[in-house]
Amino acid sequence: LTVNNLFYGRAPPVAAPFRGAGTAAGAPIVPRPAAPAVNMAAYNDRYAGCVDGKSLVQLASGETLQMEKLVKGDLVSGQGGVAAEVLCLVKIRCPGAKSRLVQLGEHLRLTPYHPVCVEGEWRFPGDIAEASEFECDA
């Protein structure tokens, strides 16, 4: 089971409900049609990073470290307390040194559609909190 398989198997984000009512210039407002089926691959953006490098990650030793300072071979604390070895770290520059990110807690900023496990349930950060524009080197 790969991360891509987990991501592609998720349900797509739900569109905001239609809030129109009444008439506009004497013509009735017609509700928009149902959204077409969406392939989650559409949210997998190879040109956008997933996590602000200044976000903190917990090492298997219990220490915390900024994500941008991780190196190959570091052991991070994984789900269920299992240590996971860092195989590589990809640094993608944010265009204009800014990016729309979701702030979760004090020390984690990530893209709205990067799945996170919260209390045993996989969710999109954008479903938990509003995305805002942050200064972000990478």
What are the pLDDT digits (tens) for 74-118?
Answer: 999 988 889 999 999 888 887 788 889 999 999 999 999 888 888
pLDDT score for 79: 81
Of residues 13 and 16, more confidence is placed in 13
Own/partner long-range contacts of 102-105 (Cβ < 8 Å, ≥24 apart): 102/126, 102/128, 102/129, 102/130, 102/131, 102/132, 103/129, 103/132, 103/134, 104/128, 104/129
Write the CB contacts of 33 (distance below 8 Å, at least 6 apart in sequence). none
pLDDT score for 93: 81
pLDDT score for 47: 46
Of residues 53 and 16, more confidence is placed in 53
Q: Residue 126: is its pLDDT beyond 70?
A: yes
Indicate the SS3 state at residue 10.
coil
Q: What is the pLDDT averaged over residues 117-125? A: 88
Q: pLDDT band at residue 68, thresholds of 50, 70 and 90?
A: very high
What six digits make up the tokens of 79?
């789900």
Instruction: Give tens-digit pLDDT for 14-51.
Output: 655 555 555 555 556 666 566 556 565 555 554 456 89
pLDDT score for 25: 57
What six digits make up the tokens of 75?
């052991």
Closest CA to 9 of 38, 34, 35: 38
